[in-house]
Amino acid sequence: MSSSRSVRKLEVVSPVPADIDIANSVEPFHISEIAKDLNLSPNHYDLYGKYKAKVLLSVLDELESSGNGYYVVVGGITPTPLGEGKSTTTVGLCQALGAYLDRKVVTCLRQPSQGPTFGIKGGAAGGGYSQVIPMDEFNLHLTGDIHAITAANNLLAAAIDTRIFHESTQSDKALFNRLCPPNKEGKRKFSDIMFRRLKKLGITKTQPEDLTPEEVKKFARLDIDPNSITWRRVMDVNDRFLRKITVGQGPEEKGMVRETGFDISVASEIMAVLALTTSLADMRERLGKMVIGNSKAGEPITADDLGGGGALTVLMKDAINPTLMQTLEGTPVLVHAGPFANIAHGNSSIVADKIALKLVGPQGFVVTEAGFGADIGTEKFMNIKCRYSDLRPQCAVIVATIRALKMHGGGPEVVAGKPLDHAYLNENVPLVEAGCVNLARHIINTKAYGVNVVVAVNKFSTDTEAEMNAVMNAAMAAGAFNAVICTHHAHGGKGAVDLGVAVQRACASGNQQLKYLYPLDISIKEKIEAIAKSYGASGVEYTEQAEKQIEMYTKQGFSGLPICMAKTQYSFSHNAAEKGAPGGFILPIRDVRASIGAGFIYPLVGTMSTMPGLPTRPCFYEIDLDTATGKVIGLS
């Protein structure tokens, strides 16, 4: 063991205490100690209190010529509503690699939304003895990135309605004169951002007074079609009553009433932009290219057309830096971005992964998690994230539980908040074996990307040896590189040492070569159909609305973008009740939308909620502050 590392040996207790109690029982290292282990000097980061720091992008420039470490993505089988422990496995694996196998390692995780923290799901810092700490800081405000996204998103929303309002009440000339007001000398000039719109319109003139009346109209009047607006306001709270609202009801708005709604902040396209950007300059371009709707003539209207791309970048300038934290055993974690895993790609940021790969160096490991099952998170990691990052993973982990496999084998419905049926608590090997068809399809699909697949069986106390052997045999028969039992929830890194060894071997075998599921230069429909085939579908059907949108995006020049399928995480198919490995179904595409700034088209398979609601008894009933110690209690 390298004595210079900030490694902490855990005193584990059985039965495993509540997550927050474990997190509060450990005094974290000062974050400067964690930074020092990664050879980061104080000028490489900004401190946010004692236990968090923002790592600056300048680190990437300094380490440009250094080699990368091994790159590992953690996905899962199709989950139950309880989740199968992907975050916990990701953290446990890294604790094993860093604290027990003496490897340089960085965990890369998404930042959780506060919505689920106070709603149904609770926090997302891992669990048991495999957690990110301080757990309360991780799950709450962190370093304010989501607040920055909220502010930027809502500034753009305000700009849209205001522009429609001003255009409706002014002539072309008056509008133009207000957009380009005279300075003290009486001269008008274009602001820098206006040249982006002029260029888009093919106008090469640089002085406002040189524009013809026709050019003045084209430049000044965006003529936004209110019915085409896709940009909604956001907040980081589960509030079902904001899903559909009416704006413009004040008397000063002169009857300009419009129906719109709120999404949860992590569903904002700005979050997806943050996750897929590769530099500050790239983020500026992506934010400016975000399309908010169309003009009445059918032309896409962007944030730069509204004059806001630069201001949005200013609001996001600190959010682009990943946040450094630590696990319970003192291994480093980079927390950054948290896009939705259905309407967006559900992965942490490219910049965090790139920084981490340089910091661990050759022979080190970066482990990053992909949201939902491998059919969604890992597929989008490969086909969207790796395309923009130009990074190549060596190994993909698939997390499985006996509980979920029993469900896929035909077990009773699993419902969050209700006790598990006895079938899940007693040995039933045939049920597990029947459910392994789900695991097998995930292995086959993931292997097709040209990476080695390691199956991590996340062990629960009720699982039996015969059931676990059935899973490992099925995994190897389906082509997994290895399959191992993990007890990291109960034992921390020590319980994931076998997984760590298997991942090291899988990375070092050296025969990986990333293969995408589809090329970018085929049509939108052909790309959708390639993904549908991987789900087991025999065909795809499109509504009239979906056909119309595909035609429009193709005409607007966006057909070369990758596809980000928005479908249920609870089945390979569009029907959440279809467990196991369904096949021969027709996948219905209800609508097709686009996140042009982030850089993907997202077809909607069924209805996707982008603003969760609160249950009758939300998590916040348990959350409080110990006013004597200042510690948060009751977070799950």
Tokens encoding 126: 């891992």
* Separation CA 324–CA 107 (nearest Å): 10
Q: Using 50, 70 and 90 to split pLDDT, how confident is the model at 9?
A: confident
* Separation CA 337–CA 123 (nearest Å): 15
User: CA distances (Å), 467 to each of 374, 454, 482, in order?
Assistant: 22, 18, 17
In percent, the amount of the chain with pLDDT more than 90 equals 89
User: CA distances (Å), 391 to each of 42, 68, 230, 451, in order?
Assistant: 28, 10, 32, 13
Residue 523, pLDDT score: 98
Mean pLDDT of the chain: 95
What average pLDDT score do residues 89-108 get? 97
Residues 6+ apart with CB under 8 A from 40: 55, 59, 324, 359
Which phi and psi angles does 60 have, rounded to 5°?
-60, -40
E strand residue ranges, 216-361: 233-235, 245-247, 258-260, 262-264, 291-294, 300-302, 323-327, 332-335
In this predicted model, what pLDDT tens digit does every residue of 367-424 receive, in sequence order?
A: 999 989 999 999 999 999 999 999 999 999 999 999 999 999 999 999 877 899 999 9
The CB-side HSE value for 362 (13 A sphere, CA atoms) comes to 3
Residue 510, pLDDT score: 76
Asked whether 474 and 400 are in contact (CB, 8 A), the reply is: no
Domain spanning 524-604 has what CATH number?
A: 3.10.410.10
In this predicted model, what pLDDT tens digit does every residue of 298-329 receive, in sequence order?
A: 999 999 999 999 999 999 999 999 999 999 99
In this predicted model, what pLDDT tens digit does every residue of 156-181 receive, in sequence order?
A: 999 999 999 999 999 999 999 999 99
Whether residue 477 is predicted with pLDDT greater than 90 in this model: the reply is yes
Tokens 């598990």 label which residue?
A: 420
Neighbours of 628 (CB within 10 A): 6
Burial 218-233 (b: 16+ CB within 10 A, else e): bbbbbbbbbebbebbb
Residue 122, pLDDT score: 67
Helix (H, G, I), strand (E, B) or coil at 103: coil
Q: Using 50, 70 and 90 to split pLDDT, how confident is the model at 341?
A: confident
* Separation CA 186–CA 211 (nearest Å): 17
E strand residue ranges, 392-458: 395-400, 452-458
In percent, the amount of the chain with pLDDT more than 70 equals 99
Tokens encoding 84: 């199968």
Whether residue 524 is predicted with pLDDT greater than 50 in this model: the reply is yes
Residue 1, pLDDT score: 34
User: CA distances (Å), 274 to each of 53, 142, 348, in order?
Assistant: 18, 16, 9
* Separation CA 581–CA 568 (nearest Å): 14
Domain extent listing, the chain: 19-143+318-509, 146-303, 524-604
Nearest residue to 338 via CA among 348, 324, 351: 348
Architecture of the domain delimited by 19-143+318-509: 3-Layer(aba) Sandwich (3.40)
What average pLDDT score do residues 103-107 get? 98
Residue 2, pLDDT score: 40
Overall fold of domain 146-303: Domain 2, N(10)-formyltetrahydrofolate synthetase (3.30.1510)
Least confident of 410-419, 441-450, 466-475, 574-583: 410-419
Tokens encoding 192: 């820098």
Residue 423, pLDDT score: 92
* Separation CA 616–CA 119 (nearest Å): 10
Tokens encoding 568: 């249920």
Torsion of CA 559, 563, 564, 568, to 10 degrees: 120
Nearest residue to 171 via CA among 226, 205, 215, 220: 220
Q: Using 50, 70 and 90 to split pLDDT, how confident is the model at 609?
A: confident
Tokens encoding 325: 């934290």
